[in-house]
Structure 1
Amino acid sequence: MPRIRGGLWARCRLCACIVALTASVFGVGYVARSQAQAPAAPGAPTTAQQPSIAFYYGAKPPVAELQAFDMVVVEPDSGFDPTQHALASTQWLSYVSLGEVLPSRSYFKSIPQSWLIGGNTAWNSHVVDQAAPEWPAFYVDQVITPLWQRGFRGFFLDTLDSYQLVAKSDDDRRKQEAGMVAVIRAIKAKYPEARLVLNRGFEILPQVHTLVQAVAFESLFRGWDQGGNRFTEVSASDRDWLLGQARTIRESYRLPVISIDYCPPADRACARNTAAQIKALGIIPYVADPALSQVGIGQIEVMPRRILMVIDTPSDISLDDSSANRIGAMPLNYLGYSVEYAHVSQQLPEGVLNDRYAGIVVWLNNSIVPNQARYAQWIRQQMDNGIRVAFMGRFGMSVDGAMGQALGLDAVRGRATRELEIVSRDPMIGFETQPMPDRREAVSVRVRDDARSLLRLRAGQYEVDAAAITRWGGYVLAPFVVMTMDDVNQNRWVVQPLDFLRQALALQPMPVPDVTTENGRRLMLTHIDGDGFASRAEFPGAQYGADALLKDILERYRVPTTWSVIEGEIAATGMYPQLAPVLEPLARKIYALPYVEVASHTFSHPYDWARTLEKEKDRSTAGYDSFHLEIPGYSMDLDREITGTRDYINEKLIPPGKKVKVLLWSGDCQPPAEAVRKAYAAGMLNMNGGDTLISRSNPSWTAIAPIGLNKGEGAFQVFAPHQNENIYTNEWSGPYYGFERVIETFEMTDKPIRFKPLNIYYHTYSGTKAASMRALRKVYDYAMSQPVMPIYASDYIRKALDFQTFAVARDGDTWVVRGAGDLRTVRVPGQATPQLAGSQGVVGFSPANGGQGTYVHLDGGTARFRVGSNTPAQPYIAEASGVTRNLVRTGNSMRFDFRGDYKPFFRVAGGSQCRVTVDGVAQRGTRVEVAASEQSSQTFRRVHVDCAE
């Protein structure tokens, strides 16, 4: 394991042989000022300008969390590929050892034995002779160059003091130091742009300080004794000595200094407090576990944005259809969290998880899971590690005895012999329907005084708590989570899920990435599944339904639209080869429209995606074609469905400059993980599924789908925000005007809380009937009467993917948010607004629906801002239908680039006597419509807003 040296050896004031332990460090080339130090030279940045640095040596670095840092050092032998995770705001650096080599390193066998002049038994490594004449060239060629070729552009040089294990005379030490200097110069000679960070190397800094970007040491306050396997407190004298070194590095060499300290993995409070102590001294902190296998706390603290949901879904029910996904995930998404699933019967995640999971939700069907003892032990371990747990429905284990003691629950003797009555309940119980106690479901537990009962029930002397907030999290037992109404196939939340999850998991207020809104406008996407392209219109004026949609919908509303086709329906190789000479030109005419985005709806339109892999492997099975269109001579082939149809559309149907961007899933919209991966590998985004069906006849949040479903690594399926006309017309059996009821869904997913963007989603066959065409026009007219920002389906999908990996961190009272740049809205809680003075990347803000906070408008993937109650005096964008980027604020002026896909405009608020120009042309007023032809909608315009001081 790579490590930083320091805490293992006693510090020697004369030889400065403070060797470290298990870390690695990084820095950049500017200086911080400490209140404990002499004043910095003029122009030196303040502590607030310090970069953030992380060190992660574990396997599979969690990129989503680590991207919040400016720089990250990783272990190269973990297999991490920096080219696969190129980020605009985060630099990846490779750990390299200079003074020692482990036998496991790939270049070890190439080192001449004569160069191995000693050993470090603590690490089972060999000390390398830095004075060997050929060593610098060897190191560059065998160590640095392979890493450079892998994409690393920065290196953290460790073990710079190992020579002191073997060099006993001043002359020997000078030779070893000269050798290290030669290596560093050789690296910079071959790779001048390489960023080098030293671990200590205090003795050679006078000769190489102009070649490096930062210097690190470890254990300023808290250390780790590898030999003794224990954490240590650093003595005041040792700390003073290190602070003296730091002062010299900063004042003499103008380099930033980093300290890596260590705390127990489960003790985030220790890490938080230690980082604050280091930061107060003007030194860049990083505090983590000794193995550096967690996301630690540094200049920033990353807010975990994942929830682990433990489930026991039966094998005959897909994860897509599980209540955990369909009901439980959406509230967590709204609160800002992505959801990862772990089945209780499989291996549950090991280790301390509090650096990436904000909490655990247990959503079980069974009162006792089969592997109860292992599961109970795992639950206790997570609680001991500081992760809060919310049980939704059932504990899955017996909670008497030792487990009851651990949970702070007292067993209640006896059982209810008559119907239970409600003794007391919290306002969050009885949200969409009133609680209906069922003595058959009663769990005989009662909370102690250190918990808060949410629902207390009684039958005679038998008194239990069916829901509570506890010191470790909370629980709501069945049937008080969701009531199932089988007779109408609907559900209702009994508990208010947002309130319960916030309190049980103690979720911290933070900026929430939001996929519903941009620049204060509700996002609107329109997408069309290709079904029925070959169907004839049943009214005069159009031959085919697709033709009717083209003339009466697309050319009338001219909004960004994503349209897909089924190759097997329109191509000569499909079901209707005789129609291809008519249908293919019609598709080309549609795709030639500048506001139509190209999508695929597969080759044969599989109805049951769970069977696609099965039939692909065994095409001899009778009835293999019963789950997709019956295309003569076709056997199921995932590649044909995905890549094949992509190639057909690209080659036969679309004009130059366009390509297939999206795969819209067909049938049950439950593709296996392999199919999702194939879509991404083919260069296509993917969407459909989810089934958001809330309406006045089904007025429940349980009918609002989550953003999507993670089916495994590289297999995130994005759900359509709303459902299509097939659902509202009883599977296209009538009434054919039924799609107009989607307006109810639009309204109920917007107010009082905006859960979804607005999504007009239908099939090509809606163009075949007069009633369905009237319904479509009504839906479009409603949508265009709302304050929306029309976008393409691909834009929304990228936002949904960005949501999964979006990073939120805290730098004191400043928020740091980072993403890919596709999701450009965060929602801050309460009535606070972003303070524009000193902010970065914040274009403006607007109130969120229903008093749910404030939408903060971003100009890209990175922003820094504080929130407060003061109304900004600077100008800002209060509302816009378009994309902003490249924001620059100077006093009471702002500059940014702007474009839009549909009737772009922006409205300026704040400031006074503001003058607005677009591409140098003065505009009237503060609501500015930016004229753009359809052909140039992708062109950004330069906007200047200058207001009086």
Structure 2
Amino acid sequence: MAWLGHLAQCAALALALGTAGVAADQPTGGAAASAPAMPSIALHYGAKPPVDALQAFDIAVVEPDSGFDPRQVATPATAWFAYVSVGEVLEGRPYFKDIPKNWFVGRNDAWNAPVIDQAADGWPAFYVDKVIAPLWARGFRGFFLDTLDSYQLAAKTDAERARQEAGLVRVVRAIKARYPDARLIFNRGFEILPQVHGLAYAVAFESLFRGWNQAQGRYVEVPQADRDWLLAQARTIREQYRLPVVSIDYCPPADRRCARDTARRIRALGITPYVADPGLQTIGIGKIEVLPRRVLVVQERAPGVAIDQSEGVRFVSMPLNYLGYRVEFADTSEDLPEIGPDRYAGVVMYLTGKVTAQPGRFHTWLQARMAQGMPVVFLNDFGTSVTGAVARGFGLKTVRGRVSGPVEVLAKDPMMGFEMPVAPDRNQAEAIQVPDGDGFRSLLRLRSGTLTYDAAAITPWGGYVLGPYAVHESGIGTADSRWVVQPLDFLREALRLPAMPVPDVTTENGRRLLTIHIDGDGFASRAEIPGGGFSGEVLLREIFDRYRLPMTMSVIQGEVSRDGMYPKLSAELEPIARKIFARPYVEVASHTFSHPFEWGRTVPAQPAQPAQGGKAAAGAGDEAYHLNIPGYTMDLKREIGGSIDYINRTLAPAGKPVSLLLWSGDCQPPAEALRLTDQARVFNMNGGDTLITRSNPSWTAIAPLGIHKPGGTFQVFAPNQNENVYTNLWHGPFYGFERVIETFELTDRPYRFKPVNIYYHSYSGTKAASLKALRKVYDYVLAQPLLPLHSTDYVRKVLDWQEMAVAREVADGSAGSDSSAGTQWIVRGDGNLRNLRWSGAGLPDVAAAKGVTGTSPAPGGGVYLHLDGGDARFAVRNAAAPAPATPQLAEASGIVRDWSQRDGVTRFAFSGYFKPFFRLANAGQCRVSVDGKPVAAVRERNTLRVDTAPVTDPNHVRQQVEVRCAG
């Protein structure tokens, strides 16, 4: 960042050298049309580079001392460049102590950085060895060369300047001599470009329109004369040297309008823009604008309530996930995080009363968020009395009146009364009204006695729904909760969420996903059916081998191994597990060592509580919180790493290790347990309690995708719950699991919230009724248009969903930043999630898209976009316009990758686990070959369907498809 201190100096230098007289905001002699194309670029020098957002850019420049390692991120479409200073060095750099003191010839006082003598003997070799080489070893293949003009702080004569410039040339040539493939972006360095322009990838400069004066600590408008001089330099670079040009400008981080306008003005000149804060600590706006996909949910949990059971997780997260937003949590009792509009789409307050922990601190934080223009939503309570200055701050009118008698509904918006009618409650009346117009709109106006008040409203700063008109809870249990306000409509409008392509984990290639996983409980139980046998034997014979669908099987080590509960049965149980794990369609998982019932318990003497999902423990002492294994004391490492090692060593086939750990009991693991799964290099899943049925038809019974735990760990929830909760905690009726079909249907219509997930325990193989229910469920799913995948495939999708970037590139002169017209959408991830949902105006233009193979209707409106990987780009066309007649993917029960269309030939890779096929639209007259051999196809109504052979691992085994169409 040291170059920022040169702003005043560079302005003076520009005037001394003379200006080119180029008018502001005008293209330089037509160069914009012929300028070399420049990828989108971002610069972020924060301590923790936000990879999820930065991967939207083609190039991301980061501060290497942040600890960022490009080898540890899966961002194939983004090149990571390291920021390196050439002319100056900060004393905190690891190589500072090795620089001879006589190489320091001056100082940049604005940044307190010594200036280095570029002509010093040995400096080029030192720079390559000590600065570039370590970064190259860490995986950086591009470098942003800064402070190329710092020598001017020390060189006062033409001869001195020439000597320093010759040294800079030697440094650049030394870098390229050692690393010919290194891409170098110069920050300025105009004076040496005549000698080394052939070694540059691009040239950047700062402050074409808006700058930052480090010495004065303020933003400045760039004088016209300085801008003219920079534009003259840009013209030479683009027209003579044929290099792209980047301008880095500065706006206040909360002023996104300033950043958008400045980026537009720079882009109009044919120059690649990037506009951010002067410290480059936030995500700026450049050729593209990254849409923030995070929402912070702030709540005040009651003592003893785990975050897993908090209202923010139970109620708020799922609707936000469906709308495309990752949810993070904060508690009013703790320090609230400093967040900004570059990464967060808004804040949702779920408060059940007044904030008690430092309310002044809380409201100061809240006012700061609102001052940034970040939308804020209150559910149930404002956390304080809305009177006086608080009411004025919210723009609300305080009204007088006396509450008495029944409450009358004077007016309500259609979004009120969603899952249950508005039931007015005068005990929570708030004496406030919203003014008419100016962005205010009442959603629920009530009157009691002489008081007329607004219990819910949309406001210019967001919106609110006071209790009990957000979620109505009877206080009896989660099965009695109901949304009073329609959460999708309310959150979308109150948070001012733009139409965007939403990453979606429920579907792929037009077909709803299907996963199957089994918790190991009861593997040692004997079947109560004719023929008997252990439950695992029965399931293998009656279910697994009958259907042969991709599935994930787990065992509890303490049930199966010789050091567990049943050492005398181990010789019989282990071979059964080996036989199951050897099946090609089975994925291997652990269900821990002792099946902890309550993961949060750390003091065994505490009284036991019933576990979520019905797996309660009996008795007291340490054994009350896990299976009663003789001599065992709870040990997280043994539960996770130990059980995984046992399965890999004793039960799993060679080359097929444990890939997943399925949480047990209450499924509320602490952050340390999640960290241990990461350390063991396995994924994790379970928890969430999706229990919606026709007798409990509430969206409050649909769980989110998962939950962030402290330390950056993420727990992936199972898509729905197991037979235990459909059978009254395995007390009967034992056929109750067939009701999971209701859950499948209610999470598909009117909106598809979840994939299909058959989730049960080994003990379902012990009773005739439970086996019959399983067969009914399996037969049902086989009759649906589904795409079977392994559980780890789903987990990878959820993790990819968390980190995906959604960005837009708005064409100059289009209808505005929130309009689809003229917008190119960019969506990037690691390639595991290959489905987007579009519900905005128009239809995606598949024929002109990149990484998009086709579309299909989405429940609830809009379309799904089928992707072939983790890098998609598309625009939207008018829905009334005729669609291009090129082939596109209508549906597939397998995985499609590497889609390309050229000269009338469509090529892609395809494979699937179970009865894979693909169907192409606009392809009735086409011919298909798979791996170079012609194949038969079913043709109907200008579509073409091809069935292929299943493979054990479609993530690595791919069949090459070629489609040739006449004409």
Give the TM bin, normalised by the shorter chain: over 0.9
Q: Please name the residue that 2:963 is paired with.
A: 945
Q: Please name the residue that 2:586 is paired with.
A: 596
Shift of the alpha carbon at 1:81?
A: 2.5
Query: How far does the alpha carbon of each residue in 1:885-923 deviate from its partner, in whole angstroms, 9 at most, with x for none?
Result: 111122543211001011110110135632222222333
1:471 aligns with 2:460: yes
Stretch moving more, 427-436 or 905-914: 905-914
Q: How far, CA to CA, are the matches of 1:745 and 1:360 in structure 2?
A: 30
What amino acid does structure 1 have at the position aligned with 2:858?
Answer: A
1:877 aligns with 2:878: no
Q: Please name the residue that 1:484 is paired with.
A: 473
Shift of the alpha carbon at 1:872?
A: 3.0
Q: Please name the residue that 2:238 is paired with.
A: 250
Stretch moving more, 487-496 or 59-68: 487-496
Stretch moving more, 787-796 or 864-873: 864-873
8 Å Cα contact 1:415-1:444 kept in structure 2? no
1:865 aligns with 2:866: no
What amino acid does structure 2 have at the position aligned with 1:549?
Answer: L
Alignment of 1:253-264 (within 5 A): 253-264=241-252
Name the SS of the counterpart of 1:286 in structure 2: strand
Distance 1:829 1:614, change over 3 A: farther
Query: How far does the alpha carbon of each residue in 1:507-536 deviate from its partner, in whole angstroms, 9 at most, with x for none?
Result: 000000000000000000000000000000
8 Å Cα contact 1:392-1:477 kept in structure 2? yes
Distance 1:469 1:291, change over 3 A: same
Shift of the alpha carbon at 1:121?
A: 1.5
What amino acid does structure 1 have at the position aligned with 2:915?
Answer: K
Q: How far, CA to CA, are the matches of 1:180 and 1:714 in structure 2?
A: 42
Q: How far, CA to CA, are the matches of 1:723 and 1:830 in structure 2?
A: 32
Name the SS of the counterpart of 2:622 in structure 1: coil
Shift of the alpha carbon at 1:277?
A: 1.0
**Equivalent in 789, 792, 799 of residue 797 of structure 2:** 799
Q: Please name the residue that 1:494 is paired with.
A: 484
Q: How far, CA to CA, are the matches of 1:846 and 1:119 in structure 2?
A: 62
Equivalent residues, number: 925
8 Å Cα contact 1:831-1:854 kept in structure 2? no
1:401 aligns with 2:388: yes
Name the SS of the counterpart of 1:100 in structure 2: coil
Name the SS of the counterpart of 1:109 in structure 2: helix
Distance 1:523 1:86, change over 3 A: closer
Alignment of 1:214-613 (within 5 A): 214-350=202-338, 353-449=340-436, 450=438, 451-487=440-476, 489-612=479-602
Distance 1:830 1:626, change over 3 A: same
The alignment's TM-score, normalised by the length of structure 1, stands at 0.95
Distance 1:613 1:81, change over 3 A: farther
Shift of the alpha carbon at 1:373?
A: 1.4
Query: How far does the alpha carbon of each residue in 1:265-317 deviate from its partner, in whole angstroms, 9 at most, with x for none?
Result: 11000101111111111111000011111000011100000000001011210
Shift of the alpha carbon at 1:614?
A: 7.0
8 Å Cα contact 1:309-1:362 kept in structure 2? yes
Name the SS of the counterpart of 1:734 in structure 2: coil
Structure 1 unaligned blocks of 5 or more: 19-32
Shift of the alpha carbon at 1:330?
A: 0.3
8 Å Cα contact 2:688-2:706 kept in structure 1? yes
**Equivalent in 706, 709, 719 of residue 708 of structure 1:** 706
Name the SS of the counterpart of 1:463 in structure 2: strand
Alignment of 1:646-665 (within 5 A): 646-665=644-663
Shift of the alpha carbon at 1:714?
A: 3.4
Name the SS of the counterpart of 1:203 in structure 2: helix
What amino acid does structure 2 have at the position aligned with 1:507?
Answer: L
Alignment of 1:792-941 (within 5 A): 792-812=790-810, 813-830=823-840, 832-851=842-861, 853-868=862-877, 869=879, 870=881, 871-910=883-922, 913-922=925-934, 923-924=936-937, 925=939, 926-935=943-952, 939-941=957-959
Distance 1:404 1:61, change over 3 A: same
Stretch moving more, 359-368 or 485-494: 485-494
**Equivalent in 738, 741, 748 of residue 739 of structure 2:** 741
Q: Please name the residue that 2:41 is paired with.
A: 53
Q: How far, CA to CA, are the matches of 1:844 and 1:398 in structure 2?
A: 52
**Equivalent in 619, 622, 625 of residue 623 of structure 2:** 625
8 Å Cα contact 2:32-2:271 kept in structure 1? no
8 Å Cα contact 2:604-2:622 kept in structure 1? no
Distance 1:939 1:106, change over 3 A: closer
Query: How far does the alpha carbon of each residue in 1:666-694 deviate from its partner, in whole angstroms, 9 at most, with x for none?
Result: 01111001101111110110000000000
Q: How far, CA to CA, are the matches of 2:931 and 2:632 in structure 1?
A: 56
Q: How far, CA to CA, are the matches of 1:644 and 1:368 in structure 2?
A: 44
Q: Please name the residue that 1:21 is paired with.
A: none
**Equivalent in 718, 721, 726 of residue 719 of structure 2:** 721
**Equivalent in 98, 104, 107 of residue 95 of structure 2:** 107
Distance 1:104 1:831, change over 3 A: closer
Shift of the alpha carbon at 1:377?
A: 1.4
Name the SS of the counterpart of 1:808 in structure 2: strand
Q: Please name the residue that 1:121 is paired with.
A: 109
Q: How far, CA to CA, are the matches of 1:194 and 1:614 in structure 2?
A: 58
Name the SS of the counterpart of 1:803 in structure 2: helix
Q: Please name the residue that 1:206 is paired with.
A: 194
Stretch moving more, 904-913 or 544-553: 904-913
Distance 1:933 1:420, change over 3 A: closer
Q: Please name the residue that 1:635 is paired with.
A: 633
Shift of the alpha carbon at 1:406?
A: 1.2
Q: How far, CA to CA, are the matches of 2:948 and 2:769 in structure 1?
A: 36
Shift of the alpha carbon at 1:854?
A: 0.7
What amino acid does structure 2 have at the position aligned with 1:943?
Answer: V
What amino acid does structure 2 have at the position aligned with 1:900?
Answer: G
Q: How far, CA to CA, are the matches of 2:33 and 2:248 in structure 1?
A: 26
**Root mean square deviation, CA, Å:** 2.0
Name the SS of the counterpart of 1:895 in structure 2: strand
Shift of the alpha carbon at 1:252?
A: 1.5
Query: How far does the alpha carbon of each residue in 1:186-221 deviate from its partner, in whole angstroms, 9 at most, with x for none?
Result: 111222222211110011011111212111001111
Q: Please name the residue that 2:55 is paired with.
A: 67
Q: Please name the residue that 2:30 is paired with.
A: 38
Alignment of 1:105-184 (within 5 A): 105-184=93-172
The alignment's TM-score, normalised by the length of structure 2, stands at 0.93
Stretch moving more, 865-874 or 725-734: 865-874
Shift of the alpha carbon at 1:796?
A: 0.3
Q: How far, CA to CA, are the matches of 1:671 and 1:39 in structure 2?
A: 59
Q: Please name the residue that 2:781 is paired with.
A: 783
What amino acid does structure 2 have at the position aligned with 1:397?
Answer: T
Stretch moving more, 743-752 or 607-616: 607-616
8 Å Cα contact 1:73-1:93 kept in structure 2? yes
What amino acid does structure 2 have at the position aligned with 1:499?
Answer: D
Shift of the alpha carbon at 1:947?
A: 2.6
Distance 1:3 1:948, change over 3 A: farther
Q: How far, CA to CA, are the matches of 1:493 and 1:301 in structure 2?
A: 34
Q: How far, CA to CA, are the matches of 2:839 and 2:400 in structure 1?
A: 44
Q: Please name the residue that 1:12 is paired with.
A: 13
Shift of the alpha carbon at 1:38?
A: 3.2
Q: How far, CA to CA, are the matches of 2:885 and 2:903 in structure 1?
A: 10
Distance 1:286 1:59, change over 3 A: same
Q: How far, CA to CA, are the matches of 1:371 and 1:400 in structure 2?
A: 18
What amino acid does structure 1 have at the position aligned with 2:461?
Answer: W
Stretch moving more, 200-209 or 118-127: 118-127
Q: How far, CA to CA, are the matches of 1:454 and 1:864 in structure 2?
A: 38
- Percentage of matched positions with identical amino acids: 59
Shift of the alpha carbon at 1:41?
A: 9.4
Distance 1:170 1:384, change over 3 A: same
Q: Please name the residue that 1:27 is paired with.
A: none
Q: How far, CA to CA, are the matches of 1:892 and 1:475 in structure 2?
A: 54
What amino acid does structure 1 have at the position aligned with 2:30?
Answer: A
